[in-house]
Structure 1
Amino acid sequence: MRQKRSKAYKKQMGLYVHAFKFRDPFQVLVDDEFIRICDKASLDVVRGLTRILHGGVKPMITQCCIQALYASRNQHVIDLAKSFERRKCNHSIKDPLTSGECLKSVVDVEGQNKHRYIVATQDVGARKHFRKVPGTPLIYMNPTVMVMEPLSDASSKVIKDIENRKLTGGLNDVNSGKIVPEQAAAEQDGQPPVKKRKGPKGPNPLSVKKKKSNPEAAKAESKSEDEKKKRKRKRSHKSHKSSEATESDENKNAASPTPEAPDNNENSST
């Protein structure tokens, strides 16, 4: 694949991803004729789709398309198709539809590519139909090279509308400037409408510096605590001291000798 074409495909898929919400891995619906031509050109289907879409690929095939391969009795192509994921189309196995009609019924849901399929088909009529469905990438073999069609007019129109809405959002809105019902009720009551607070507007806690501890203040607090501890006095129990004092007085009285009384006979003889 040439570099210029590869860049164009990558840019195109970027538009599908942003505008139509396509996601990797991309779902690719292949038909029986596309698989046959890839096999005839000795081209690996999965590798070729991956190179074009610049992402993961999930190949899928419908029941009607695989029934068409059974009719061809090409066992190598049948085994290759069996390795792909089977997409239910809810059509009768005994009376299957053509590959083009089956793909239309699966992809086109009320004029939209609801399931975001990328269609790889050789059916010219089916590709013409899918160009009218916005957001439908188309891939085909031409004749031995895998090619993706440029954006269709329907897809380009939708992308332009999305871009214009983003640029002029709210300017041309019909409801802009109209009074909201809650606001009208508040004006009738004579009270101004209460504005809803979106959230706290304080400083970011991660950007605020932490408070530094002051060592001098800590020392002063420790000194004051030590002084308080020193000033504490032990309270003495008075009852205990008074009992001790009475016991000491009694011991003193017992130890001191009592003075002898004067003899009356001696005084009388004198």
Structure 2
Amino acid sequence: MRQKRAKSYRKQMLVYHHNFKFREPYQVLVDDQIVCDTHKASFDLVKGLQRTLQAEVKPMITQCCIQAIYETKNQDAIDLAKSFERRRCNHPPKEAKPPLECLESVVCVNGTNKHRYVVASQDPKIRGVLRRVPGVPMIFMNRSVMVMEPLSRSSERLSKDQEKQKLYKGLNDPQLAGKPAVEDTTHKDGAVTSEQTASKKRKGPKGPNPLSVKKAKASSTAGDATGDLADSKPVVSNSEAKPARRRKRSHKSSAPGEEKREDNAEDQNDGDSG
């Protein structure tokens, strides 16, 4: 039975750890009744809290709860309460409030357990009031056995809502689907405005995979040499190039005298043109 309780308490503290950001050592607020009852039963309060929470604890007490212990005139209980860390509740000793109002004002800040306290109280009224605040683990004594209450309805409801938000957070959030990112821009006058910028997408077809493209073959040295010689040749324009001289072919049937006449006529034509 003890192992089952320890396992269930471990699961509960994991919920407080992940959903309500509880960290070790846990801050435990004790009231006046649990201090007096544990001292009367010769029960070690600090070790009992460590066994229940299965971690290091930092016991704390408010000034109003110490004032209530002073009224009992139990010096041993007073010395035990003084050994705990004092939690300021902003209630002067002359205007001390009942432990119920004091613990409620310290634990419940704007409807949440802001400072992440674990409350150890023997008063059922205090546990009933703090049960409405989400994220408040509560411990009490039952026949010299320290017991942790299961998750309250408010704590269980808030933890379920946070688990749902984790599923739809980021890209899976339907409220943010298809909306561009928001960027803050600061102007010269100091005003800050938020602008929605769409993600830039590359247009056009993508290039081939560079790993799948074959490398170009290196040209031969002979080809490079011929290419260099070809490039080194001077380029002559068409206007500067002289027309090639055409020679008429002589037919075998023509007489030798006729060939001489044709050659003389060509020489004469060249001289006139010159």
- State the TM-score, normalized to the length of structure 2: 0.65
C-alpha distance in 2 between matches for 1:180 and 1:55: 43
Q: Which moved more, 1:29-38 or 1:142-151?
A: 142-151
- Do structure 1's residue 91 and structure 2's residue 98 form an aligned pair? no
C-alpha distance in 1 between matches for 2:180 and 2:173: 16
- Do structure 1's residue 193 and structure 2's residue 194 form an aligned pair? no
When residues 143 and 97 of structure 1 are mapped into structure 2, their CA distance, relative to the original with a 3 A threshold, is farther
When residues 79 and 163 of structure 1 are mapped into structure 2, their CA distance, relative to the original with a 3 A threshold, is same
1:109 shift after superposition: 0.2
Alignment of 1:217-236 (within 5 A): none
C-alpha distance in 2 between matches for 1:61 and 1:22: 19
C-alpha distance in 1 between matches for 2:197 and 2:7: 57
Unaligned regions of 5+ residues in structure 2, if any? 184-194, 203-274
Quote the residue 2:28 is aligned against: 28
C-alpha distance in 2 between matches for 1:70 and 1:129: 25
Q: How many equivalent residue pairs?
A: 191
Quote the residue 1:267 is aligned against: none
Across the aligned residues of Structure 1 and Structure 2, the Cα RMSD in angstroms comes to 2.2
Paired AA for residue 88 in structure 1: R
1:146 shift after superposition: 1.1
Quote the residue 1:18 is aligned against: 18
- Do structure 1's residue 64 and structure 2's residue 64 form an aligned pair? yes
Greater percentage in helix: 1
C-alpha distance in 2 between matches for 1:151 and 1:141: 17
C-alpha distance in 2 between matches for 1:179 and 1:15: 34
C-alpha distance in 1 between matches for 2:107 and 2:181: 41
**Post-superposition CA distance 1:25-57 (Å, at most 9, x none):** 000000010101111121100000000001000
Quote the residue 1:160 is aligned against: 160
When residues 174 and 97 of structure 1 are mapped into structure 2, their CA distance, relative to the original with a 3 A threshold, is same
C-alpha distance in 1 between matches for 2:180 and 2:18: 34
- Do structure 1's residue 115 and structure 2's residue 122 form an aligned pair? no
Quote the residue 2:219 is aligned against: none
Quote the residue 2:140 is aligned against: 140
**Post-superposition CA distance 1:152-189 (Å, at most 9, x none):** 1111111111211222324343232123467x8878xx
Quote the residue 1:73 is aligned against: 73
Paired AA for residue 154 in structure 2: A
Unaligned regions of 5+ residues in structure 1, if any? 196-270
When residues 171 and 46 of structure 1 are mapped into structure 2, their CA distance, relative to the original with a 3 A threshold, is same
Paired AA for residue 167 in structure 1: L
- State the TM-score, normalized to the length of structure 1: 0.66
Quote the residue 1:178 is aligned against: 179
C-alpha distance in 1 between matches for 2:8 and 2:177: 40
C-alpha distance in 1 between matches for 2:91 and 2:98: 11
C-alpha distance in 2 between matches for 1:4 and 1:50: 17
Quote the sequence identity (%): 55
